[in-house]
């Protein structure tokens, strides 16, 4: 697998639902190869259609990119997320309009095995928001990998157009100690001289140096890991704990999940 794989929306390939998924939804694969440590699919759900997740041997995170769905007795509009832990199952039903739901999974079970057996629902209005994380950067925490029964991480970021100053644009490249997938939910991300729009996924291998900038109208994205983030390492030699940085911004707050009825 390349150290950085860029998959625009038009390159996602229609496939049969992966093992552990069933229902009426149409599935497109972004990252599913045997060599990829993390997998990402996009499920399109028509009104009244279903996507069933589980039971599986590996935890699954789903993110509602557009539309709204019903799951476990809760309405989950765009920007909501959920986790179906290993050994548990959940049926997602399409709402009044066509919905697009992303599913993120690890290819193999994590080294630090946890009990599983639960479903966590996080409607968009319960996401912990963090304004002004940095110069013209906002954030939100969905899953912080601190659950006693699963180790899943998902955060979101918004880089506003005000970020585009010479000082910010020339910031140091960096790497993370975990494999990750970035998915552009709105705006554009600049990689080198190219702009990529909504629906673009970046699969980035652990310890890979990379950098990006927002497009002229900014960029919003979500970032998935299958384990607790450890170090962020910058090309200029600076090192720090990414998870500790988020805990500092959140000031002791943790996501408050709903359980299915």
For 47-75, what is the mean pLDDT?
Answer: 98
Q: Give Dmax (Cα) for the chain.
A: 52
Confidence of residue 1 (pLDDT cuts 50, 70, 90): low
Mean of the per-residue pLDDT values of the chain: 96
* Residue ranges of the chain assigned to CATH 2.60.120.10: 11-125, 128-250
For 155-165, what is the mean pLDDT?
Answer: 96
Q: Residue 129: pLDDT above 70?
A: yes
Strand order in the sheet with 239-241: 174-176, 231-234, 239-241
Res 169: pLDDT? 81
How far is it, in rounded angstroms, from Cα 185 to Cα 65? 7
Res 200: pLDDT? 98
Kindly state the helix (H) or strand (E) to which residue 158 belongs, with its residue range: strand 153-159
Copy the structure tokens of residue 187: 């705006």
How far is it, in rounded angstroms, from Cα 19 to Cα 36? 16
User: What's the CATH code, domain 11-125?
Assistant: 2.60.120.10
In CATH terms, 128-250 corresponds, of 2.60.120.10, 3.40.50.720, 3.40.640.10, 3.20.20.70, to 2.60.120.10
């Amino acid at each position: 697998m390349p150290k950085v794989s860029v998959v625009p929306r038009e390159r996602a390939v229609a496939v049969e639902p992966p093992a552990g998924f069933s229902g009426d939804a149409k599935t497109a694969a972004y990252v599913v190869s045997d060599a990829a440590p993390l997998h990402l699919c996009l499920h399109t759900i028509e009104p009244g259609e279903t996507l069933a997740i589980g039971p599986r041997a590996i935890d699954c995170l789903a993110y509602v990119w557009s539309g709204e769905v019903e799951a476990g007795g809760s309405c989950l509009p765009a920007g909501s997320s959920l986790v179906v832990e290993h050994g548990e199952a959940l049926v997602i039903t399409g709402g009044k309009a066509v919905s697009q739901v992303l599913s993120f999974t690890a290819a193999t079970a994590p080294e630090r095995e946890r009990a599983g057996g639960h479903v966590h629902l996080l409607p968009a209005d319960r996401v912990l928001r963090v304004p002004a994380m940095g110069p013209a950067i906002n954030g939100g925490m969905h899953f912080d990998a601190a659950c006693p029964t699963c180790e899943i991480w998902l955060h979101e970021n918004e880089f506003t157009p005000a970020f585009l100053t010479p000082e910010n644009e020339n910031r140091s490249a960096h790497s993370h100690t975990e494999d990750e997938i970035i998915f552009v939910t709105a705006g554009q991300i600049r990689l080198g001289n190219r702009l990529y729009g909504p629906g673009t996924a970046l699969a980035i291998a652990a310890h890979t140096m990379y950098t990006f900038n927002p497009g002229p109208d900014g960029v919003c994205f979500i970032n998935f890991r299958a384990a607790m983030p450890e170090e962020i390492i910058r090309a200029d030699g600076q090192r720090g704990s990414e998870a500790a940085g988020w805990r500092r911004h959140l000031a002791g707050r943790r996501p408050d999940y709903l359980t299915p009825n």
